[in-house]
Amino acid sequence: MIEKIIEIKDKIGFHARTSSLFAKKASTFQAEIFIEFNDKKGNGKSTLSLMTLGVKSQDVIKICANGTDEIEALESLEELIKNNFKS
């Protein structure tokens, strides 16, 4: 398992659009993807799970990936966040 701490810079945070984009990207990998925020853990492949975490702009989250393609998954998801959820 690998982990990365990253700040959400999108002006709204994890809302419907950004959660959907993140979950869609995470679902392309075999690795399990989880987001940890404020002692809560959400499934990174579930839009609803991400939205319930309450992540806002400038909040810091931990992305956890576990599986055969965990490094590629984490790098891709980090890039998505750094680009404010633009492909």
Domain segments of the chain as ranges: 2-82
Residue 86: predicted pLDDT: 85
pTM score, two decimals?
Answer: 0.94
3-class secondary structure, 71:
helix
pLDDT-derived band at 10 (thresholds 50, 70, 90) equals confident
**Tokens linked to 21:** 């984009």
Is residue 68 part of the annotated active site? The answer reads no
Annotated active-site residue in 15, 20, 67, 72: 15
* CA–CA dist 78, 16 (Å, integer): 18
The string of pLDDT tens digits covering residues 25-68 is: 999 999 999 999 999 999 999 999 999 999 999 999 999 999 99
**Domain 2-82 belongs in CATH node 3.30.1340.10:** yes
pLDDT-derived band at 87 (thresholds 50, 70, 90) equals low
